[in-house]
Amino acid sequence: MNQNTEWPLWEVFYQPGNGKPFEHAGSVHAPDAEMALQNGRDTYARRNEGISMWVVPTDQITASAPEDAGPFFDPANDKAYRHPQFYSVPRAVKKRN
């Protein structure tokens, strides 16, 4: 298919349950936002995946470049204290769970 006649690309996100963060499901082609929602539903929500869906025009997403990976993410490697397992959970909270 000719590149110029192809519908724009949209990224599809769905929310697996109440209060859960949206997850990226994949992308679809669609002429506009309503059809992107419907195509997202038909392509990615066929097996009871979620309760809510977002679609975002792919060209509206700003992504970090592969060469940013070092400065962006490596510094976190040796900062294990940022992970929550170093904090003890009060007994009352544990009980409630």
Partner 1 sequence: MSTFDKIPETKEEAFLEVLLRLADDRLIHGHRLSEWCGHGPELEEDLALANVALDMIGHAASLYSYAAQLEGKPDEDYYAYFRDDIDFKNIALVELPKGDFAFTILRQFLFSAFSFFNYRELIKTVKDEQFNGMLQKHFKEIKYHLRHSREWVLRLGDGTEESHRRIQEAIDEIWMYTGEFFHLDDIDKAAISFNLYTDTSAFKKEWESLVFGTFEEATLQKPDNDQYMFEGARSGRHTEYLGPLLAQMQFLRRSHPEAEWK
Contact positions vs partner 1 (CB under 8 A): 7, 28-32, 34-35, 38-39, 41-43, 46
Question: Which is closer to partner 1, CB of 24 or CB of 64?
Answer: 24
Question: Which is closer to partner 1, CB of 25 or CB of 30?
Answer: 30
Q: Residues of 45-84 as b/e, b for ≥16 C-beta within 10 angstroms?
A: beeeebeebbbeeeeeeeeeeeeeeeeeeeeeeeeeeeee
| DSSP SS3 for 63 | coil
**Nearest distance, CB of residue 9 and partner 1, angstroms:** 11
**Nearest distance, CB of residue 39 and partner 1, angstroms:** 4
Question: Which is closer to partner 1, CB of 34 or CB of 68?
Answer: 34
Q: Provide the 8-state DSSP code for 31.
A: S
**Nearest distance, CB of residue 56 and partner 1, angstroms:** 16
45 φ/ψ angles, rounded to the nearest 5 degrees: -120, 45
